[in-house]
Chains A and B, each alone.
Chain A
Amino acid sequence: MIELADVRKAFNQGQHNELWAVRGVTVHLEANRTTVLRGPSGSGKTTLMTLIGCLARPTSGRVRLHGRDVSGMTERFLTELRRQTFGFVFQQFNLVRGLTVEENVMLPAYPLGVPRRDLLRRVHALLDTLDLGAHAQAKAEWLSGGQAQRAAIARALVNDPEVILADEPTANLDTELSQRFLDIVADLKRQGKTLIITSHDPLVYESPQVDRVVSLRDGHLA
């Protein structure tokens, strides 16, 4: 479903602090599978995920989604694609401060202008499945780590995307909450979602839920 062909990504190109995070990666990721991008910090796994999820464009190489080349797309089309296809769960969760959980989860759907009543219904259904129904009106900054992550997951799911990308999801969680996260992964798999997770946590990449592990080192496949 997602193909990367000799993809490279550089930061601060041409300057003294030029950094090549990804140095030629070719990989094919299948739909409905859970894939973990594994590697030490600095291996380029997070950068690779941003390229897969159309958050960034490669410096060179091609990215194809359902056979369609997206690496040369303009910002606007890329954003639309991103909105429809991908849901992101950031390592720091990145919930918007000052907004309630409910409002945070609604955010990705705002640009679509869907009727509020329908949206609220969908949001509350999601919050219930993730055990956050009681906290719908709580301000984002009051949530515990586990709750914040579940809110972030709910937000990633609100537009019902095909692919969920999670960056180091267990980095800020204890074992119990990490296990809970993996239960959610199982649930999402059952719904037919494709999951791509970056992690250096053995609890994640050794989990039975994971179909494939892609190892990276220094911007290359290891």
Chain B
Amino acid sequence: MPPHPWLQRQRYLVDFTVGALGRRKGRNLALVAVYALIVFVLASVLLFSQALRHEAATLLSGAPEVTVQRLVAGRHDLIPGTYLERLGKVRGVTDARGRLWGYYYDPVVAANYTLLVSPDDPPPAGKIRVGSTLATTRGLGVGDVLSLRGHDGQPYAFTVDATLSPDSALLTADLILVNEQDFRAFFGIPTGLYTDLILTVPNPREVTKVAEKVLRALPDTRPIVREEILRTYAALFDWREGMVMVLLSGAVLAFIIFAWDKASGLSAEERREIGVLKAIGWETSDVMAMKLWEGLLISVFAFLLGYLAAYVHVFGLAAALFGPVLKGWSVLYPDFQLSPHVEAFQVFTLFFLTVFPYALATVVPVWRAAIADPDAVMRL
């Protein structure tokens, strides 16, 4: 059964376009390649930040509903445990407890560690549990001893009880879990003081009210609500994404200028060719459609190739090319594999931005020549 004339016509137009593009095969392939590369970088950034944002939102959805910090002269200070009683009385709060955690700078590897007292199942005295990245960087295995310099300048030796699973590296890369006594002795924090307090508020609608009540009851505190944490991460990755985007927009702009220069102002040969097509019976719409196909073929292929490469790069190769940007100066960078999460809307926006302007730049300049009478073709 023969195809519908409209469909067959499109196939013919594509035939012509591919033939015409094939005249400068190398140049046009290079064009697609460069364009695809730009899409690759943009799409990689997009996919990576989408997935990371989603990951953060998922993993931290179990974070404490309200974290209460104490501020002294605007600075984060230790918070007394006596505040717990007052907080426990606030309506909506089902549990309140203190958290002990802090930072330790290790000059040996120029890295920051986070020491944390885990509330359930703490390690026994003198023992620590270490994050996998830390363990690898310091060459620590179970049974090895890590000596850290305490607040009093004395070395404190801790024996590694266990290393945390590498699957949790994104959360635990730099963690050292200790028990409460060791923590207090090491940092010189007396009993009754905590780093901050965490509140359990089971009803999400009461959280803001609880935060307000905390502020009123304890004016020298700063309650941090879980939603703020999640929003921080959403904004963060936007910002980082933005920085790369800014760098890229320069490249994109240069490319647009190049494409526009190429597309605007037809060469004499191109004008003549359009004249010939009109003379042999192509209508203006045929010429425009053919040019549109040219723009679409290049930009759609560039998008698909760039996007597919980006998908493989981000979810198959763990965004290897972004390593340096993300790691910054950190020594302990977690080795993690992002779980794929794609926001269709943003992807289709990228598709639209890749295809539409380029197709337009290809088609619009042809308009004048396409509607003219073809008799100019005869005069040469």
B and A form one assembly: yes
**What residues make up the interface of A, taking CB atoms closer than 8 Å to B?**
46-47, 49-50, 55-57, 75-76, 79-80, 82-83, 87-88, 90-92, 94, 96-99, 103, 106-108, 110-118, 155-156, 159, 167
Known contacts: A55-B378, A94-B377, A110-B13. The answer to whether A159 contacts B3 by CB under 8 A is no
B136 at the interface (CB under 8 A from A): no
Expressed in whole angstroms, the Cα–Cα distance for A161 and B12 within the complex equals: 21
Interface centre among B8, B277, B279, B281 (most CB of A within 10 A): B281
* In contact, B23 and A114 (Cβ under 8 angstroms): no
Q: Beyond A56-B373, A110-B15: 11 further Cβ-contacts under 8 Å?
A: A55-B374, A75-B373, A82-B281, A96-B273, A107-B282, A108-B280, A110-B9, A111-B286, A112-B9, A113-B9, A116-B8
Residues 16-31 of B contacting A (Cβ, < 8 Å): 16, 19-20, 22-23
CB distance from A140 to the nearest CB of B (A): 10
A-B contact pairs, 8 of them (CB 8 A): A55-B374, A56-B374, A90-B279, A96-B16, A96-B276, A111-B283, A114-B5, A159-B281
CA distance A114 to B11 in the complex (A): 11
B6 within 8 A of A: yes
B residues less than 8 Å from A97 (CB atoms):
23
The complex places the Cα of A108 from the Cα of B280 at a distance, in Å, of: 5
A111 and B378 form a contact (CB under 8 A): no
CA distance A88 to B350 in the complex (A): 45
A80 engages B20 (CB within 8 Å): no
Contacts of B282 in A (CB 8 A): 79, 107-108, 110-111
| Complex CA distance for A49 and B375, rounded to whole angstroms | 10
Contact A98 B378 (CB under 8 A): no
Q: Any chain A CB within 8 A of the CB of B159?
A: no
Q: How far is the CB of B371 from chain A (nearest CB, A)?
A: 6
Closest residue of chain A to B6 (Cβ to Cβ) is: A113
Bin chain B's interface residue count: 35 or more
Contacts of B8 in A (CB 8 A): 113-116
Is B291 an interface residue when CB atoms closer than 8 A count as contact? Answer: no
Partner of B378, one of A90, A114, A115, A156: A90
From B2, B23, B279, B283, contact of A76 by CB (8 A): B283
Chain A residues with CB under 8 Å of B19's CB are 96, 98-99, 103
| B280 and A155 contact, CB distance less than 8 A | yes
In the complex, the answer to whether B280 meets A107 with C-beta atoms within 8 Å is: yes
Closest to A53 in B: B279
Cross-chain contact of A56 among B20, B280, B375 (Cβ < 8 A): B375
Indicate if the CB atoms of B380 and A113 lie closer than 8 Å: no
- Asked if A110 and B12 sit within 8 Å, CB to CB, the answer is yes
B16 near A99 with CB under 8 A, answer yes
